[in-house]
Amino acid sequence: MKGFDDHFNDLPDYILGITREIWEERGVGAKLKRYYADDVLVRAPSGILTDNRGVTAATLQTLNEFPDRQLVGEDVIWSGDEDRGFYSSHRLISVMRHTGSGAYGNASGRVVRSRVIADCVVRENQVHEEWLVRDQAAFAHCLGIEPRELAQRQVESDIRQFGRARYFTPEEDVEGSYRGRIDDDAQAARYAEGWSAIWDGKEISELFALYHPGATLNAPGGIVLNGHGDIDRFVLGYLSSFPDARLSVEHLIVNRDPGQPLRIAMRWSFTATHSGWGHFGEPTGAPVYVMGLSHAHLVNGRVSMEWVTVDEVAIWKQLLAYQASDRSTSA
Domain boundary residue, one of 133, 150, 172: 172
- Do the domain assignments include residue 4? no
- Do the domain assignments include residue 177? no
Indicate whether 206 and 89 sit together in one domain.
no
Indicate whether 89 and 204 sit together in one domain.
no
Indicate whether 127 and 56 sit together in one domain.
yes
Indicate whether 134 and 110 sit together in one domain.
yes
State pLDDT tens for residues 308-331. 999 999 999 999 999 987 665 555
- Do the domain assignments include residue 242? yes
Q: 3-class secondary structure for 110-144? A: CEEEEEEEEEEEEECCEEEEEEEEECHHHHHHHCC
Of the candidates 145, 144, 147, the residue with the CA atom closest to the CA atom of residue 220: 147
CATH code of the domain covering residue 259? 3.10.450.50
Indicate whether 155 and 280 sit together in one domain.
no
Indicate whether 23 and 129 sit together in one domain.
yes
Q: How many Å apart are CA 117 and CA 93, to the nearest integer?
A: 9
What range defines the domain where residue 69 resides? 11-172
Q: How many Å apart are CA 188 and CA 237, to the nearest integer?
A: 26
Query: What are residue 217's DSSP bridge partners?
Result: 225, 306
State pLDDT tens for residues 99-122. 999 889 899 999 999 999 999 999
pLDDT given at position 324: 86
* Average confidence (pLDDT) over 220-245: 98
Confirm whether pTM is higher than 0.85.
yes
Indicate whether 168 and 232 sit together in one domain.
no
- Do the domain assignments include residue 181? no
Parallel, antiparallel, or unpaired for β 211-219 and 302-310?
parallel
